[in-house]
Amino acid sequence: MLGFEEIIFIAIVALLILSPEKLTEFAREIGKIYAEYKKAKRLVELEILYGVSEEKLKEDLEKKYKELEIEVEETKAERSPPR
């Protein structure tokens, strides 16, 4: 685990090696890479723990969404006053 001093040292070295403009671009790219890593990790966990692939999960969610949409329409039709 990195301590506060190590993080400060790394930040100073990074600032010296990269200019402030490039440092922000670099940090942004690292953030994107980290987000992709977390997404991939979540998908792998779903696959391993539950045996559910991303495609199957999407199909099930779309099916449930359509069912709920139909129920909402039926409920609206029941509640609307007759003309």
Domain boundaries, the chain: 1-52, 53-83
**pLDDT value, residue 15:** 84
43-64 average pLDDT score: 81
Mean pLDDT of 15-21: 84
The verdict on pTM exceeding 0.85 is no
Of the chain, the percentage scoring pLDDT greater than 90 comes to 10
* 3-class state of residue 19 by DSSP: coil
Which one-letter DSSP state was computed for residue 82? P
- Predicted confidence (pLDDT) at residue 82 exceeds the cutoff of 90: no
With CA atoms as reference, report the closest residue to 43 among 53, 34, 58, 35.
53
Look over the chain and give the mean of its residue pLDDT values, rounded to a whole number: 83
